[in-house]
Structure 1
Amino acid sequence: MHPRLLAGVQRARVGAIPAARSLAPLARARASVYLRPAFRTVTTSRSALSPGQREDLEHKIHDSQAAASFHDPMTRYEFLVNEGVLRPDEHQRKIVKKLMPLWEQLKDYDPGPLPEPEAEVQPSFFGKFFTRKSSTLEPIIPLDQVPKGLYLYGSVGTGKTMLMDLFHSTLPHQFQAGGKYGSTRIHFHSFMIEVLQRQHAVTARYTAEGDGKRDAIPEVARSIAADGRVLCFDEFQVTDIVTAMLLRNLFERLTDFGVVAIITSNRHPDELYINGIQRESFIPAIDLIKERFDIVDLNSGTDYRKMPRTITHVYYHPLNEETSAEMDKLFHGLASADPDPEIKINRKLPLWGRELTVPESSGHVARFTFDDLCNHPLSAADYLEITAKFPTVFVEEVPKLTLSERDQARRFITFIDACYENKTKLFISSNGPIYSIFSDENGSAMDDETIKQTMTDLGINTEVVGSSSLFSSDEELFAFARCVSRLTQMATKEWADESALAHPTNGKKPPAARQ
């Protein structure tokens, strides 16, 4: 987690979150649980369906009674292929087969009751170096009886999120919503924000009790386990030493409580936090992941986001009077169609104990400049709140970004991630084509073949992009490649349709909320 994000969370939420608060509301707000991303890989024939037919199909897929008939990930995958929601793909089918051993293990897995909140589990090898207070309790379930987790890694567009949601939606009954043990599906950004909030709340309570040096992580891990003994989180990445050290301890404790995790990432574990400060301190966590997870490579050469589809006009350039007039017309047109059409100037939006000024907005459409969103110390948590509040967002006057705007570039990428997570409909005006705003004249050539291929597949000039020195690490380059892929997907008719289904304004619940 970026240090600025950590600082922002600590400043904003001091003492505000109870330690045992459920992750479930945050997971529902931040990431749809039931196969939302599966519809990225639609067939051409589905695009020809009427909106009513598409909604009937999605309702059928998300309906709880229908879902009950999907015995396991493979039967549900075959159903989605037969219904035309997913394209038949032998590589993806082989990956789904790799999910089955863990599903079979979970079917008979009984992790048992959790200890009382005040108790701590006995730390195992790595944990004992970080636990400040000793304990006499053993882990609630022997390590060799906890099923290994799954670590799915691959480049952008390899179907990671779809496969995770496929697995989560077909978990055995004891881990389903309302089951004995439950499960949690959440985006990694949101997960880390919640972990920091819980850690701070527990530490504050220990301090008030005169035990301020006591390690908060065991109780944080216990509260996460109480929310669900299967934990699925998407887009796992380690970009700073704070996150690295926290995860090292947390993973150990979650295993002690019998939690089984399914993780998606762009990177093989050996490549996590590569070239990071004090990376040697994170090596034991990498070893733990390799020991306690089955590592699955999803790369197949197919970008499942790059399917034939109709591009809609959502990105405008250059920055001139004509573009400004077009953006103005679009905003007022969409606002007038909003069920809450009144346009408010300088609306105050509460954000984590602070307020953000929204220059113009109707009930569901917000209009910002790049300066409003990226020239201020906003974090992933802030962007997630904004995009959850406004299903349609305008970002205007995006400049060409150089080394002097490195922080702004990173914030912009984080903002796009939030838009993607909340299925936001996006309109942007920029100095030049949206993908060229990151380039400068002082960088070095891009060496990563995966990123080069992504740029080539998307029709982007790799010489221009590769000259950018904005992205000085492999993690930043991967974040940029993901951003480009997502911007491309968000400019399609299918994305507009999915956004409309995820954010209905006619009073009906979206398909994901029906289950």
Structure 2
Amino acid sequence: MRSATSSGRPVLAGAARSVRPTAHIRHSLPSSRRPIRIIAAPRPVGASIATRRYLHSSLKAEDEGQKPFHALSTHAAEARASFRDPLTRYDHLVKDNVLRPDPHQRAIISKLERLWKDLQHYDPGPVPEPATTEVTPSFFGKLFHRTPTHPQPTHALENVPKGLYLYGSVGTGKTMLMDLFHSTLPEQFRSKQKGGYGSTRIHFHSFMLDVLQRQHEVGAKYAAMGLGKRDAMPEVARSLAEEGRVLCFDEFQVTDIVTAMILRQLLERLMGFGVVCIMTSNRHPDELYINGIQRQSFIPAIELIKEKFEVVDLDSGTDYRKLPRALNKVYFSPLSSDTKSELSKLFQSLASADPVSTEVVHDRKIPLWGRELHVPESSGSVAKFKFSDLCNRPLSAADYLEVTGRFGTVFVEDVPRMGLGERDQARRFITFIDACYENKTKIFISSEVPIFQVFSDKHDKGTAGDDEHMRNVMDDMGLNADDVGSSSLFSGDEELFAFARCVSRLSQMGTKEWSETSGGEQQL
């Protein structure tokens, strides 16, 4: 399964870093990726760069039989012990001044503790082998061949531990809580090695891409066997369960009819194979796919979530993104020769220190799902594009995830102010920023107007306050409507939410914490 990296929204005292899944996740998208650095123990959620290196040096010394300083050894031992369960981990991070103490967040973590205890004593058993039946190539074999039986569920739904559905608006710490839980899973779910069952931590959008790809592959397999169209979902769910019995979805949302139509069957099949799911979302289950096409057919999936998941509201009135943080210089405007020169110097500086390769290649071609994308300039893990390279072409979320997975740092030059005539480009730019956010990519952008105003209407001095609904959405996101300006680009609720979320993410991606913890090992 394709892994999407994530970014936490913790109560920060210093720089933040999310725990990333490593070897137990299979990548189904193209394998060209920047190298994944695997260390001796899970990285601490929210640890600063210095803290991670400090801890890693101690763990490495111990693993190699050296005798580290007593203080280092003590700190490493405490850090290891803190991964025992969610509450212990949270208390350690507070004690270590990585997170700020927050009674509401600690109460939420007690919900994680409940599921952790259920999983500690949960034995899902083996996953059944895939059902296969060879087709005899003879005439009579084709007439009388047996069709394959679907993999049969191994668990009654009531015997599978109740999952968690964590929902709240932007800035409520959803991703941080998910990462914290995933990093403290009971031993049998941390790895598939030594008889473990494994787990998967993934962004929901990437997960659904993987599901659709598996459906296609299973369908093609059945067609090759001469079986025609058969339901591929049982085998898809079985293969997902084989890779991990705990499935953590981040940013769970339903925006298209395909996801809406298959979601209930998919969740039921997964639980039938003993899979326990944890989800984070911006919406209560009742508000999923609101006003969507044929929403009535999605209601059974909502009822299943409410029945088989503990639904937890994360909103406490505290927006952890709005805690004081120093802005870092990553956005440049207006478009001028000085701006172009400054970005060029930054690119050369980062490329010359690139740990993957310092050679700058012009017009590099990278494969994207049977096509090629031309990268004007790039080193091993640093790339520079024009806005038109990324947004004037019919690229998709999967393409952007591939680009931001390959390059840890991306420069985007010449972002224009987008009006109604650039609606498609605006949508692609939002999708690209979402991919950067999911893959923890460091970005540098030059734009015609300040970055937060690139979606504001041209020649319009009004504000988002002219549209009460838009102002309410941005207030919920913690955005200043007067700074963003008005926009007629986005009409439906989902589009408006995606726009406001993009501006909010651009704000977070311009902070010193993001710059220090994104883009792999490179630092400014």
If the length of structure 2 is used for normalisation, what is the TM-score? Answer: 0.80
Letter in 2 for 1:491: G
Q: 1:467-489 CA distances to partner (integer Å, 9 max, x unpaired)?
A: 32222222222222322222112
In 2, the alpha carbon distance for the partners of 1:213 and 1:398 equals 46
CA–CA distance in structure 1, aligned partners of residues 44 and 427 of structure 2: 24
Alpha-carbon distance in 2 for matches of 1:308, 1:57: 26
Question: Structure 1 residues 112, 32: closer, same or farther in 2, change over 3 A?
Answer: farther
- In structure 1, how many angstroms separate the alpha carbons of the residues matched to 2:471 and 2:103? 24
Distance 1:337 1:468, change over 3 A: same
Q: Is the 8 A contact 1:152 1:265 kept in 2?
A: yes
Q: Corresponding residue for 2:392?
A: 375
Amino acid at match of 2:321: R
1:24 aligns with 2:26: yes
Query: Do the aligned partners of residues 92 and 153 (structure 1) sit closer, same or farther apart at CA in structure 2, a change above 3 Å counting?
Result: same
**Partner residue of 1:89?**
102
Q: Secondary structure at the match of 2:335?
A: coil
Give the corresponding residue for 1:344: 361
Paired residues of 2:164 and 2:311 also in contact (CA < 8 A): yes
Task: Kindly provide the amino acid, as one letter, of the partner of residue 254 in structure 2.
Answer: V
Taking the aligned partners of 1:341 and 1:411, their CA distance within structure 2 comes to: 30
The match for 1:478 is 497
Aligned residues of 1:23 and 1:224 also touching (Cα < 8 A): no
Sequence identity, in percent?
63
Higher relative CO (CA 8 A, sep ≥ 6), structure 1 or 2? 1
Given candidates 226, 235, 238, the residue that maps to 2:254 is 238
Output the TM-score relative to the length of structure 1: 0.82
Aligned residue for 2:210, secondary structure, equals: helix
1:503 aligns with 2:521: yes
The one-letter amino acid of 2:54's match is D
SS at match of 2:310: strand
Of the candidates 54, 61, 64, which is equivalent to residue 56 of structure 1? 54
**2:299 aligned residue:** 283
The alignment's C-alpha RMSD in Å is 3.1
Are the aligned partners of 2:150 and 2:235 in contact in 1 as well (CA < 8 Å)?
Answer: no
3-state SS of paired residue (2:398)? helix
Shift of 1:279: 1.3
CA distance in 1, matches of 2:258, 2:411: 33
Q: Hey, what does 2:113 align to over in structure 1?
A: 100
Q: Is the 8 A contact 2:131 2:151 kept in 1?
A: no
> Could you tell me which residue of structure 2 aligns to residue 153 of structure 1?
167
Indicate the larger mover: 403-412 or 424-433. 403-412
For 1:266 and 1:32, locate their aligned partners in 2 and report how far apart those are by CA, in whole Å. 31
Equivalent position of 1:111 in the other structure: 124
Question: Matched residues in 2 for 1:375 and 1:64: separation?
Answer: 52
Provide the residue aligned with 2:70 in structure 1: none
Asked if residue 79 in structure 1 is aligned to residue 96 in structure 2, the reply is: no
2:283 aligned partner: 267
* The one of 233, 238, 243 aligned to 1:227: 243
Judge conservation of contact 2:256–2:292 (CA < 8 Å) in 1.
yes
Shift of 1:446: 4.4
Q: Deviations over 1:160-219 (max 9, x none)?
A: 011011111111111111352111111112211211111111110000001121111110
Select 2:473's aligned residue among 442, 451, 473. Answer: 451
Of residues 65, 76, 83, the one that matches 1:70 is: 83
Q: Decide whether aligned partners of structure 1 residues 151 and 52 sit closer, same or farther in structure 2, where only a CA change above 3 A counts.
A: closer
1:168-247 aligned within 5 A = 168-177=182-191, 178=193, 180-247=196-263
Letter in 2 for 1:486: R
Distance in 1 of aligned mates of 2:85 and 2:473: 34
SS at match of 2:374: strand
Residue type matched to 2:317 in 1?
G
Q: Counterpart of 1:387?
A: 404
C-alpha separation in 1, matches of 2:156 and 2:294: 32
From 423, 440, 443, give the equivalent of 1:423: 440
Stretches of structure 1 lacking an aligned partner (at least 5 in a row): 1-20, 121-132, 506-515
How far the C-alpha of 1:224 sits from its partner, in A, is 0.3
Residues 318 and 445 from structure 1, CA distance in 2 versus in 1: closer, same or farther, beyond 3 angstroms? same
- Of 421-430 and 316-325, the range deviating more from structure 2: 316-325
- Give the Å deviation of 1:140: 0.9
1:221, 1:253 within 8 Å by CA — same for their partners in 2?
Answer: yes
Is 1:139–1:257's contact at 8 Å kept on the other side of the alignment? Answer: yes
Give 1:305 deviation, angstroms.
2.2
Whole-angstrom CA distance in 1 between matches of 2:292 and 2:374: 35
1:458 is displaced (CA, Å) by 4.4
Q: How has the CA–CA distance of structure 1 residues 334 and 137 changed in structure 2, closer, same or farther, with 3 Å as cutoff?
A: closer
1:362 and 2:383 are equivalent in the alignment: no
Moved more, 88-97 or 111-120: 111-120
